[in-house]
């Protein structure tokens, strides 16, 4: 039976991968025959086991948008757990009893109700008394069974979580660093409570059951452990759980502590619940806690060290955060030498002073924090000027919290996006400079304008010693910068970040100006307005940019850093003028589709991402493919040509 459940999960994941490849990536990882065979096998297993996962390709999940999330009072209050950081207290709690020990996952607690084998209701914990109904969103949790074999009423509790890997991938897609989620729990909370479950579905939320509340007419042999195993048989993923006694609890805590490093899901401790259901229920509750359960929080490893300095770290919002730099100490297996102090209010509360003896720890074994200042010599001086731009600072009081801000709107720390554009693939194409890295370099004073990026070797030792950097990272970065010195004039113009000017417009303008770097800053509004496809708005933005002396100086500095080969404007440059292409699938005669795009644009054509009524040609080597782009092209009567046919057009 267990092998069949595992096979059901394998088939669900495999068929979903095949469907994504076919529908979204225009490629096939299996034949239609193989897909149908596996699909039929999955359907048979679902019928035999009575389990259908929410992500199963055999069901169609209709996405739905709600105006708000209705509230629902819980059938019984969801109390918090009494907790300890001492194993001795757990031994005392256990006494002669057996208990189930499991992860205390750090996500969003959900109560599920099933009737007649179907998911009927999902409600968040809320304040313990009243939660929000998120049934619509629970239906698209990645691993949640929508149909189970048990036909009675089942009520269970579990944790909705997002793993660290998915958290990092989702955060990486958010360009604005300040808009990124602080931790997986915040991301999960926002994902589970979306009004559109299409958003929830994209977030890979998983559900892990940790407690069975009610399942009528099932003999659980008076055992919580038995309940967990029964939930597994119904298709639920449950938290890692072991049976434990007082004499084995210390060893079990140690085992879980070792596993947390490898665990993809966030956990802030462990939970013990008596295995004997009747005994646990007979104990009742206190005003705040159930008496049959106990939470264990990891004991913080605290080290004493000396505060060396306070580093002031500006961000793109203008907020300047204090960061404590101290003598390095070993914490939870890593060397730590810095911790955020967060704001001025916390600095005042800790009475920090240079040379103070402080105690530091890692919150949840991850984030370095100051636990206590033992000497409290007094408040460190608050800077009256920004460490990046020298602009004046101001202290602001928001929500009873003192914060420090830079008042200069031109502060480089506020211009991270413009630096990110400069190094992006279509601009100077410098790998290894993410927004987070750029922000670090700006704050450290390594970068003040675009040209400084070409001279980061001045700070080689400092960069190698930054967190996340090293010899290899620095060498790779230097190689990427060296490659970027050989560029084209359109890429350079686009990299400046002139309003309304993308790479395509930059190519058109440069071509019209004879690809002459010296003509770029002096083009007039009238001259630009006459260029086909430019227009008055773009022309004005371009001229306004170069009207500022600092921008002209920056452009000249960049010309000294790069090599731009002379491009002759040929009669062939307008061959595809007014012609729109879409490119899909793999290419054989070019390194990638980007090269095809550049060739088309060099001849005056335009490349777009989707097939519309304005598309003139779809380039796809698999002309007979039934991909979505090919289908759309046939519907609209757009010619589908192979790479060879495209090359014949050029010749």
**Residues designated as active site:** 104
d(CA 413, CA 460): 21
Among residues 150, 117, 147, the alpha carbon closest in space to that of 217 is found at 150
Q: Look up tokens 């927004």; give the residue.
A: 435
Residues 6 or more apart whose CB falls under 8 angstroms from that of 627 comprise 22, 26, 584, 585, 620
Cβ contact 610:635 at 8 Å = no
| CA end-to-end distance (rounded Å), the chain | 63
Beginning with the edge strand found earlier in the chain, give each strand of the sheet holding 108-115 in spatial order. Answer: 52-53, 145-147, 118-124, 108-115, 154-161, 206-215
Residues in the chain: 651
DSSP secondary structure letter of residue 109: E
CB atoms within 10 A of CB 67: 6
CB atoms within 10 A of CB 231: 22
Sign of the C-alpha dihedral, residues 262, 265, 271, 275?
negative
CA distances (Å), 16 to each of 25, 95, 143, 382, in order?
Answer: 13, 48, 13, 55
d(CA 162, CA 178): 20
Cβ contact 316:178 at 8 Å = yes
d(CA 125, CA 157): 9
């Amino acid at each position: 039976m267990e092998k069949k459940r595992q096979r059901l999960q394998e088939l669900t994941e495999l068929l979903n991968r095949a469907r994504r490849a076919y529908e979204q990536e225009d490629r096939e990882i299996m034949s239609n025959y193989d897909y149908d065979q596996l699909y039929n096998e999955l359907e048979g297993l679902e019928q035999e086991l009575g389990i259908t996962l929410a992500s199963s390709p055999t069901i169609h999940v209709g996405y739905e948008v709600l105006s708000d999330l209705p509230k629902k009072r819980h059938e019984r209050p969801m109390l918090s757990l009494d907790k300890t950081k001492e194993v001795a207290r757990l031994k005392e709690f256990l006494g002669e009893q057996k208990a189930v020990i499991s992860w205390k996952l750090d996500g969003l607690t959900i109560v599920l109700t099933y009737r007649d084998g179907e998911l009927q209701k999902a409600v968040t914990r809320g304040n313990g008394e009243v939660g929000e109904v998120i049934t619509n969103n629970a239906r698209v949790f990645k691993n949640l069974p929508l149909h189970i074999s048990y036909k009675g009423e089942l009520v269970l509790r579990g944790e909705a979580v997002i793993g660290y890997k998915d958290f990092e991938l989702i955060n990486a897609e958010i360009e604005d660093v300040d808009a990124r989620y602080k931790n997986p729990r915040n991301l999960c909370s926002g994902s589970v409570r979306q009004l559109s479950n299409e958003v929830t579905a994209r977030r890979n939320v998983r559900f892990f059951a940790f407690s069975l509340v009610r399942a009528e007419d099932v003999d659980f042999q008076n055992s919580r452990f038995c309940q967990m195993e029964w939930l597994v048989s119904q298709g639920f993923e449950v938290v890692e759980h072991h049976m434990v006694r007082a004499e084995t609890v210390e060893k079990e805590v140690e085992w879980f502590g070792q596993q947390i490093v490898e665990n993809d899901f966030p956990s802030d401790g462990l939970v013990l619940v008596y295995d004997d259901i009747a005994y646990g229920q007979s104990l009742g509750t206190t005003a705040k806690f159930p008496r049959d359960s106990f939470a264990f929080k990891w004991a913080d490893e605290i080290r004493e060290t000396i505060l060396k300095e306070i580093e002031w770290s500006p961000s793109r919002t203008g907020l300047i955060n204090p960061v404590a730099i101290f003598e390095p100490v070993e914490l939870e297996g890593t060397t730590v030498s810095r911790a955020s102090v967060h704001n001025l209010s916390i600095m005042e509360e800790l009475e920090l002073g240079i040379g103070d003896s402080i105690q530091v720890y890692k919150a949840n074994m991850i984030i370095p924090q100051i636990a206590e200042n033992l000497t409290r010599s007094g408040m460190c001086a608050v800077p009256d000027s920004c460490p990046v731009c020298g602009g004046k600072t101001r202290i602001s009081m928001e929500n009873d919290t003192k914060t420090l801000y830079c008042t200069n709107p031109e502060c480089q720390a506020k211009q991270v996006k413009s630096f990110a554009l400069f190094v992006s693939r279509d601009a100077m194409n410098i790998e290894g400079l993410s927004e987070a890295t750029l922000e670090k370099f700006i704050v450290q004073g390594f970068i003040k304008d675009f040209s400084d990026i070409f001279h980061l070797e001045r700070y080689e030792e400092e960069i190698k010693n930054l967190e996340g950097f090293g010899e290899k990272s620095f060498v790779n970065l230097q190689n990427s910068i060296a490659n970027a010195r050989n560029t084209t004039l359109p890429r350079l113009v686009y990299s400046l970040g002139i309003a309304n000017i993308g790479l395509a417009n930059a190519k058109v303008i440069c071509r019209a100006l004879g690809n002459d770097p010296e003509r770029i800053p002096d083009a007039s509004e009238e001259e630009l307005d006459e260029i086909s496809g430019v227009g008055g708005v773009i022309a004005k933005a371009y001229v306004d940019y170069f009207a500022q002396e600092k921008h002209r100086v920056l452009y000249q500095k960049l010309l000294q850093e790069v090599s731009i080969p002379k491009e002759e404007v040929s009669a062939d440059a307008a061959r595809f003028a007014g012609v729109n292409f879409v490119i899909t699938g793999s290419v054989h005669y070019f390194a990638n589709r980007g090269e095809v795009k550049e060739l088309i644009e060099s001849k005056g054509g335009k490349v777009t991402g989707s097939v519309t009524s304005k598309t003139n040609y779809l380039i796809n080597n698999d002309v007979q493919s039934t991909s979505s782009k090919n289908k759309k092209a046939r519907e609209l009567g757009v010619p589908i040509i192979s790479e060879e046919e495209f090359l014949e057009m050029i010749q």
